[in-house]
Amino acid sequence: MRVTDGAITNRVLANLQGNLTRVGNLQEQLSSGKQISRPSDSPTGTVSALQLRGESRAVQQFSRNASDGLGWLGVIDSALEGAGNQTMRVRELVLQGMSAGTSSTGDAREAIAVEVDNLRKSLIGLANTKYLDRPIFGGTTTGERAFDANGQYTGDDGAVMRTVGDASKVRVDASGTDIFGANGSPTQLFSVLESISANLRAGSTGALTSDLQNLDVTIGTIKTNRADVGARTNRIETSRTAADDRLLNVKSQLSEIEDIDLPNTIMQMQLQQTAYQAALQATAKVIQPSLMDFLR
């Protein structure tokens, strides 16, 4: 088989181009910090990286949902704390009015009734507490309030849910009717407060006894719901911690697939550059002057 100078030249140039391509690939890896720049670099690694990125986005959404849920429950807890303190104050006023009985002056009973009226307005305000411009006790209502000025429930029976993990949903709102009582119920807080105010002005001790029993039911309900809010808060915090831990693990796995081993890549780059320089020197020796150079 006859080997011509042209064949030798083409083969040498192809080898040099291959060396130069490898140098270019290593330079790209060093500049980007990634060993996968395109799917052809590693088809299996690309598939794994895409799966991990999808999981990372899902876990990040779980964490955001958990943070939003904690915001809801934190506002609810504060509102229930205020409601609990104010209903206890109403209870004290009822006992004060019952102790005074009919022997107290009308002005004294009126003063207690006025304070109860103010507490009722304040409690209606707490029942209309908002988070991100949504009433926390109104279900999924699109309205601005859960209770009107008369203390009647205007929300709906929907529940605001947040997905905080795989197949894990937690309710982040609270039912206004479960806490403050349904419209028309004898234990509906605002109706009870209205009755207390009227009976204080009338000096009706027997009616106040019934009002106190109804008020105690609401106080117990508020305490129970606040404990439930605390339990849901703990559940969401646990889910958010698990999501954050999983996100760190996913990022670590993704780094192992995509990121370069910097010391090893630098060493490979130096070796490849040395090989390229050696190939250039060998080429200069292999391709000797042709007959045309001697005829000049």
Amino acid code (one letter) for 100: A
Angstrom distance (rounded) from CA 107 to CA 237: 51
DSSP-derived letter for residue 267 is H
Extract the tokens encoding 22. Answer: 């490898």
The β-bridge partners of 287 are: none
Q: For residue 163, what are the β-bridge partners?
A: 169
What pLDDT score does 80 carry? 97
In this prediction, residue 242 carries a pLDDT of 94
Euclidean distance between CA atoms 225 and 136, whole angstroms? 13
pLDDT in tens, the chain (296 residues): 565 656 666 776 776 676 666 666 656 666 666 776 677 767 888 888 889 889 999 999 999 999 999 999 999 999 999 999 999 999 999 999 888 655 556 788 899 999 999 999 999 999 999 999 999 999 999 899 999 999 999 999 999 999 999 989 999 999 999 999 999 999 999 999 999 999 999 888 889 999 999 999 999 999 999 999 999 999 999 999 999 999 999 988 887 877 665 666 677 767 767 766 776 676 666 665 555 555 55
Q: Which of 295, 89, 274 is nearest to 193 (CA)?
A: 89
Write down the H helix ranges in 5-105: 5-32, 43-100
| 3-state secondary structure at position 164 | strand
Task: Output the pTM of the full model.
Answer: 0.79
Q: What is the helix (H) or strand (E) element at residue 135, kind and residue range? A: strand 134-135
Give the per-residue pLDDT at 285: 65
Helix extents (H) in 187-261: 189-202, 205-258
pLDDT at 182: 94
Asked whether the beta carbons of 194 and 120 are under 8 A apart, the reply is yes
